[in-house]
Amino acid sequence: MSKYNFDKIIDREGTNALKTDALLSRYGSADLIPLWVADMDFLSPPAVSEAIIERAKHGIFGYTCPSQSYYDSIINWVGSRHNWKIEQEWLTFIPGIVKGIAFVIDCFTTKEDKVIIQPPVYHPFRIIPTLHHRPIVDNQLILEAGQYKMDLAGLKKIIDRDCKLLILCNPHNPGGRVWTKQELIDIAEICYDNNILVISDEIHSDLAFTPNKHVPFANVSEKAAQNSITFMAPSKTFNIAGIVSSYSIIPNKELRDKFNKYLESSELEEGHIFAYLAAQAAYEGGGEWLSEAKNYIWNNITFVDEYLKANIPQIKAMIPEASFLVWLDCRELGLPQKELVSLFVDDAKLALNDGVMFGAGGAGYMRMNVGTPRANIEKALDNLKKAIETKQTRS
């Protein structure tokens, strides 16, 4: 019996939740089941809410600073969960991982420098460098036996002396791959030898499903440690994205000093009261909640896979090794992308992420968020089944 009620339907409308309150502007209709933006529809761990409420009772919200307990909570969590012994001086608060990527681009590259990404991948990896006028170089992932793998041979071929940065999604979004230690070692070798700095976005690191084990990029080799900037956060893990409590981990002192000086020049390294408080509370008191949440999410993933196989075999789920996001292969429906999106939005009344937004290799796919009560998923899949049957009957 679960201690937490993940089946509870919580109305998020009217709370300025992006997932619900931006439906009309993003999808043209507010009457959709929202399974798109990557936050969960579960109450965050009680430890977080209780810490925030207790602190709010104090009534004074002046300038704040991170406590020793805050740093210790991160160090202990990363050490126990990911077997990576980090030092306090390696840590710096950042106001969001996407913002952190932008900071690294601005700090370490010029407009002549190329940024390597491995699509299909989280769309800000492409959007942010583009907005900073950096050329993008695609090293598309290889789809093999229903899972993605990195094209290391292709990476070596596309590298030239203008390539200065590679953005790694570890674990991968939208495919959910948990990269192996050897894959990460290989990436580290290639990038180190070619003077290409690696950003490792590890925001989904705590959501790996057994037997998969997240491997921090910087912990696989000395070359990786000395040539990377890692971003982590409790936001996806504990459903506290709106609090904004991300941080960077940089073992290399030269990189760390340059990056920290950049942040300090605009006071970007300073968090707010609840950013520090929520992160500490989650890491110290959210372990049991996380275990049960992952179990619930895994059961949702299994349900989606089994439902599709039994009722909509034209759509196949890529089973994630981490995260609450499921990459749906809809190519067998034979629909142009615009019609595929219309099928989900207009016919099935579902808001999912259009696969094309993730770049090369995304056409024919949709990304589904299953971090929600089972009833929402059941209704969504029933809607989709009926929409496809209706479309097939008409044609």
Block means of pLDDT (10 residues each) for the chain, 395 residues, are 90 96 97 98 98 98 97 98 98 98 98 98 98 98 96 98 98 98 98 98 98 98 98 98 97 98 97 97 98 98 98 98 98 98 98 98 98 98 97 79
Task: Give the per-residue pLDDT at 1.
Answer: 62
- Residue with token string 């390539």: 163
- Peptide bond preceding 95 in cis form (omega within 30 of 0): no
Q: Among positive and negative, which fits the CA dihedral 298, 300, 303, 305? A: negative
Instruction: Measure the CA angle with vertex 112, ends 106 and 116; round to 5°.
Output: 75
Closest among 241, 166, 251 to 204, alpha carbons compared = 241
Q: CB-based contacts of 90: which residues, under 8 Å, 6+ apart?
A: 249, 250, 251, 256
What pLDDT does residue 305 have?
98
The token pair at 2 is 């679960």
All domains of the chain, ordered by start, with CATH? 18-45+287-387 (3.90.1150.10), 61-284 (3.40.640.10)
**Could you tell me the pTM of the whole model?**
0.96
Place of tokens 């340059």: 258
Distances (CA, A) of 160 to 194, 196, 311, 360, 384: 8, 10, 48, 21, 45
pLDDT of residue 395: 67
